Structure 1
Amino acid sequence: MSDIETALFPASASTHDLEEGARLTPRFDANGLVTCVATDAATGEILMLAHMNAEALALTIATGEAHYYSRSRKKLWKKGESSGHTQKVVDMLVDCDQDAVVIKVEMGGTGAACHTGRRSCFYRRVPLGHHAAGETPLAFTGDTPRFDPKTVYGDDHGHSH
């Protein structure tokens, strides 16, 4: 663990404490990250998957606003800081071995969580029951963009969570 991880979130004393304890002791991966799934607090719809480092997790807990760590940009970011599509966290759950969290959020702005302008980052379906191949088709769910990403983010709007 890095110094900031240790300072913010001490390690579990045992597997029992990790799995059954009443203290948040997240297990960050080798890159210092935990996986975070954001869902709509009212409907349960999966909105996005991103990552949090210790600072992002601590800020999310302290402020009630979703903060993440961008692996591609290598920096902390607050959801909605440039787009206005904020995420107010109303509940946070941690999994059994504390290496992933689920946050239930209320979306601000247009209600779009995805940088493509869509409500959800999960707007394409993978067909099941077929052999996976280089030409595996995707089916769009019908979640159309609610805003123009170029207008909000500029021409270079592609990013990875």
Structure 2
Amino acid sequence: MASRRMDGYWANPRWPDNDDANRSVWHAYYRSLIAASELFELRMRYSGGFSFASAEACYSAYTQELYRFDQLYRIYHEAADVVYARSPDALSPLTSRVEQDYLTGFLQPFAQKWGSFLDGGLLQQWRLPGVSNQQNFYAEQVDRYLKGGEDRRVFVVISDALRYEVAQE
């Protein structure tokens, strides 16, 4: 229903905002509802918690589906910020539920599970089959490229905020 309304007259971002229709706000409102709904659905699928036999299985689960928790949380807040700028209390109860489901339903239990693999020896060895280690980045990516000629240059963006879910999107 919300997706259909996003394409309607009042929320369609292809038409400009005007005095009668604050389309960007309504579009963001519906976008936040959709993101929250999808987050709640995902949370329900994992209501029993997270159980992985190995660090590899945990990593694989994150790269296949669990990254969506982070993605939906970000999408919700991006849209909610637009709504809050116009109407500060419009989404307050929903935001509280999003925060609760994300933090206690995903982030804390998933971090604890990953932490158990670190405590179990992964931190000393820090290797996952098929996953390149960050400390090998220069040798595997940059140096190899630069050896192709003196006129080659490389710029690397390093950001602790550039997360897997953003790159996936």
TM-score between the two structures when normalised by the length of structure 2: 0.25
Structure whose CA Rg is larger: 2
Decide which structure has greater strand share: 1
Decide which structure has greater helix share: 2
TM-score between the two structures when normalised by the length of structure 1: 0.26
